[in-house]
Amino acid sequence: MDVQDIKNRFGIIGSSPLLNRAIDIARQVSPTDMSVLISGESGSGKEVFSHIIHQMSTRKHGGFIAVNCGAIPEGTIDSELFGHEKGSFTGAHEARKGYFEVANGGTIFLDEVAELPLGTQARLLRILESGEYLRVGSSKVQKTDVRIIAATNVDVYDRVKSGKFREDLYYRLNTVPLRIPALQERKEDIYLLFRKFSADFSDKYRSPGIQLEPDAIQLLSNYSWPGNVRQLKNIAEQICVLEKDRNVTGTALLNYIPNESGSNLPMAINGSNKEDYTERDILYKVLFDMKKDMMDLKKLVAEIIQNGGNTSHVMADNTHYINQLYQEVDQKVNNEHSNQLTIKKPSSSPVDYNYAHEAEEVEESLSLIDKESDLIKKALKKHKGKRKFAAQELGISERTLYRKIKELNLN
């Protein structure tokens, strides 16, 4: 069965080379028992590929169970996956089979696998290595023969580096990586998908067909589609039900497409980070990055004061250094987020460094240190002393936060 046959069988629309490559990988890996880690944005169709792999494998007559790991509470996920014995915990009135026992001989699809607790990850690793597991509350070893297909919409290796996901489990699951392209990477398929969805919904609701004007087609192609195919399908259904004029213009289409960043024509920003950086977040990051340089300024000001107000020779030697420092601050801000925050640089004209100006510089330096200490205290208080989450809130590494707590004598 070639790629086009698979598209026809599973109802996949599109001709993107990235999509074809993903289907071809799924086709080649299906006859094996290798674990597959499917990655892709939410709504891009990861579960469809898990069905492709299962239906084209030798396990197609066995069970197929899809599990959303992020939707099951941490306290019950072990029971759901591995089963439990009667009386093993409050509410366990009878023994229960887990998914790995029910799907024996078949396939289990673990969606949002990166959300698994570390204890459950250890149990899953044992199944991958030996096929053995224990029911909750039992000491009797159970055996299972299940193929595992996992999926995630986050970078699992980033979770590994932050200690939230086991590295050995990552490599066992990632035997064959399969990446599903986002809809934004398949611009040539967007209009084809819309036509298919709108035709299906027109038949379902017995309404006239939808036609898009050229400006509406252009708008579809330029939109970023953060919800991917799922979002496109939802919008097609809304238009089929709500739109009175069946010839849809770009202006009419804007009523259904969510507005991005206050623009009337949503466009993807090349290379933009999807995190929502506020001006406050950027300021915090600049403050921490420039801590060392501000300490140097403190030493400089202290030297000025020790000279009893005779500042001309000191400032002559260091004016160039201060101007350079401001340029470095401005450059770092620009690297963080263009045009979000502006730091005023000193004038290129000669500066009158009198005593009043010296006092102002000292006060500014001290206020920055106090501000940094205050921000760290607030972050720690907000997260109840958990330094890992406080570091994430501040936009710095956990190691940097430890160092700053020690430097500032924060308990």
Nearest to 38 by CA among 128, 113, 115, 127: 113
User: What H or E segment, with its residue span, contains residue 150?
Assistant: strand 147-152
Classify burial at 111, counting beta carbons within 10 Å of its beta carbon; exposed 0-12, middle 13-18, buried 19 or more: buried
Classify burial at 242, counting beta carbons within 10 Å of its beta carbon; exposed 0-12, middle 13-18, buried 19 or more: exposed
For residues 328 and 8, give the distance between their C-alpha atoms in angstroms, rounded to a whole number.
Answer: 57
What CATH number labels 184-253? 1.10.8.60
Residue-wise pLDDT tens for the chain (411 aa)?
889 999 999 999 999 999 999 999 999 999 999 999 999 999 999 999 999 999 999 999 999 999 999 999 888 999 999 999 988 888 888 888 999 999 999 999 999 999 999 999 999 999 999 999 999 988 899 999 999 999 999 999 999 999 999 999 999 999 999 999 999 999 999 999 999 999 999 999 999 999 999 999 999 999 999 999 999 999 999 999 999 888 999 999 999 988 765 443 444 434 444 344 444 455 555 555 565 566 666 666 666 666 665 555 545 555 555 556 556 655 655 554 444 444 444 444 444 444 344 434 444 444 566 777 788 888 888 888 888 888 788 778 877 877 778 777 776
C-alpha dist (Å) from residue 284 to 118, 198, 279, 336, 406: 32, 47, 9, 11, 19
Query: In the structure encoding, which two tokens stand for residue 215, read together?
Result: 């400006």
For residues 6 and 85, give the distance between their C-alpha atoms in angstroms, rounded to a whole number.
Answer: 42
Domain residue ranges of the chain, discontinuous segments joined by +: 3-181, 184-253, 279-407
For residues 210 and 244, give the distance between their C-alpha atoms in angstroms, rounded to a whole number.
Answer: 10
Provide DSSP, 207-272.
Answer: -PPPEE-HHHHHHHHHS--TTHHHHHHHHHHHHHHH-SSSEE-HHHHTTTSPPBTTBSS--PPTT-
C-alpha dist (Å) from residue 17 to 121, 153, 184, 227, 343: 34, 21, 13, 21, 45
Strand partners, 148: 108
C-alpha dist (Å) from residue 136 to 82, 95, 233: 7, 10, 41
Match domain 3-181 to its CATH number in 3.40.50.10540, 3.40.50.1820, 3.40.190.10, 3.40.50.300.
3.40.50.300
Query: In the structure encoding, which two tokens stand for residue 73, read together?
Result: 């509470």
